[in-house]
């Protein structure tokens, strides 16, 4: 067989595959399915700390990318240098009403809430088909603002009860970034309520906002947590509950370097891979929540106030693998009650 004949035979299947792909890719059905919506945009204003890979802000960022990509709409994240700059940017965004253009403005940090509440009270927040404001803040309720609230009480109630089943846990310190945040108050209260249902313990609370001028700085003190606070906990406390964002990484680093120094509760995401001293993690699915909100907004179904609770799986307690045989039965026993407690809880 000649070389030209062989080349023809080899190239023919390739031509068929390319033609088939072209016909499929250029079909009207495919074009409609993946058509990009240039007139639809999600704009999110984050904190000056940005996304560190260890916080709810990172989960929100990932969720926004996934949602906007799947829906074929623009995503514009904004990372200001200061909270003041972020507040000014939000003020400009929420008052701008662009006809024929659909925008969802997302405030990802509760530090902006007081400023936005003042704007809303003075009629300076647009609520129309073209511009809508979504905030992540359980305390924010206003007719011109859309609010997503992820309650921590039930998940933390369950965590506290499970922790009480550990015979070597009797002294607990809770590190909080700032008690003005509702989810931190819910988490702290829920954990204590769940624990003392089974047995008594000594609890101590350290509030970073009382020792730092910046009310949000407590979320970003991992180096200080490792060098100072973790060392102070050894031989005093059996367990640390860190409601302080990225700061938890300092405690987890100390756990790795000094095994069995104390237990650290994982918060926001599964922290079991960082240390063997994480018996369980309290997980909040911010990425799924924001995806749901964006989809609802695109379909004009966004609710003015929606609670994303434990009963629907938006939050959950994940027992680390090495502790499952010990703690999983207690987690299953208390689950239904924790959901009931969350639904009836009022701050």
What average pLDDT values come out for the chain (347 residues) when binned by 10 residues? Answer: 41 40 40 61 92 79 96 95 95 85 94 94 92 92 95 97 97 94 94 97 93 78 95 96 94 96 95 96 96 96 95 97 97 97 82
Indicate if 209 and 340 belong to the same structural domain: yes
Predicted TM-score (pTM) of the model is 0.85
Q: Which residues pair with 89 in a beta bridge?
A: none
Rounded CA-CA distance 66/63 in Å is 5
**Position 220 in a domain:** yes
Q: Which long-range contacts (CB under 8 A, 24 or more apart) does 58-64 make?
A: 59/268, 59/269, 59/284, 59/285, 59/286, 59/287, 60/106, 60/108, 60/136, 60/286, 60/287, 60/290, 62/287, 63/286, 63/287, 63/288, 63/289, 63/290, 63/291, 64/106, 64/290, 64/291, 64/294
> Are 254 and 215 within one domain?
yes
Structural domain of residue 216, as residue ranges?
153-279+320-344
Task: Report the DSSP beta bridge partners of residue 243.
Answer: 176
Environment class of 8 (CB within 10 Å of its CB; exposed 0-12, middle 13-18, buried 19+): exposed
pLDDT at residue number 324 = 97
The enclosing H or E element of 23 equals helix 3-25
Query: Which pLDDT belongs to residue 53?
Result: 57
Give one DSSP letter per residue of 82-114, joined into a string: SHHHHHHHHHHHHH---TT-EEEEEE--GGGHH
Query: Do 125 and 203 lie in a common domain?
Result: no
Answer yes or no: is 127 within a domain.
yes
Same domain, 139 and 110: yes
Sheet order of strands, 102-107 included = 73-78, 37-45, 102-107, 131-136, 146-149, 305-307
Instruction: Look at the chain and report how many structural domains it folds into.
Output: 2
pLDDT of residue 30: 42
The pLDDT, as a whole number, for residue 301 is: 95
Extract the tokens encoding 347. Answer: 């701050």
Instruction: Kindly state whether residue 6 falls inside one of the protein's structural domains.
Output: no
Looking at the structure, do residues 265 and 126 belong to the same domain, yes or no? no
Task: Specify if 104 maps to a domain.
Answer: yes
**Cβ atoms < 10 Å from Cβ of 322:** 13
- Residues 193, 336 within the same domain: yes
């Amino acid at each position: 067989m000649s070389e030209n004949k062989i080349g023809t035979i080899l190239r023919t299947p390739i031509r068929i595959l390319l033609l088939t792909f072209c016909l499929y890719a250029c079909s009207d059905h495919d074009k409609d399915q993946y058509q990009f919506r240039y007139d639809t945009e999600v704009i999110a204003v984050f904190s000056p700390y940005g996304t560190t890979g260890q916080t709810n802000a990172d989960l929100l960022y990932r969720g926004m990318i996934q949602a906007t990509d799947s829906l074929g709409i623009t995503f514009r994240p904004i990372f200001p240098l200061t909270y003041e700059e972020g507040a000014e940017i939000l003020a400009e965004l929420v008052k701008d009403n662009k006809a024929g253009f659909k925008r969802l403005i997302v405030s990802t940090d509760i530090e902006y809430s007081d400023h936005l509440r003042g704007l809303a009270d003075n009629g300076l927040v647009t609520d129309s088909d073209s511009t809508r404001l979504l905030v992540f803040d359980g305390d924010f309720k206003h007719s011109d603002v859309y609010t997503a609230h992820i309650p921590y009480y039930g998940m933390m109630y369950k965590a506290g009860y499970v922790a009480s089943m550990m015979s070597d846990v009797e002294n607990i310190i809770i590190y909080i970034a700032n008690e003005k945040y509702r989810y931190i108050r819910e988490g702290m209260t829920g954990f204590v309520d769940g624990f003392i249902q089974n047995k008594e313990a000594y609890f101590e609370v350290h509030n970073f906002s009382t020792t730092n001028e910046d009310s949000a700085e407590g979320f970003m003190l991992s180096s200080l947590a490792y060098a100072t606070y973790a060392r102070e906990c050894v031989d005093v406390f059996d367990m640390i509950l860190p409601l302080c964002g990225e700061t938890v990484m300092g405690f987890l680093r100390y756990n790795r370097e000094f095994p069995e120094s104390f237990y650290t509760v994982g918060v926001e995401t599964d922290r079991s891979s960082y240390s063997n001293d994480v018996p369980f993690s309290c997980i909040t699915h911010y990425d799924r929540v924001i995806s749901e909100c964006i989809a609802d907004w695109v379909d004009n179904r966004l609710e003015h106030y929606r609670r994303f609770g434990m009963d629907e799986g938006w939050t959950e307690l994940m027992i680390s693998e090495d502790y499952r045989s010990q703690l999983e039965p207690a987690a299953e026993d208390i689950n239904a009650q924790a959901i009931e407690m969350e639904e009836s809880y009022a701050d």
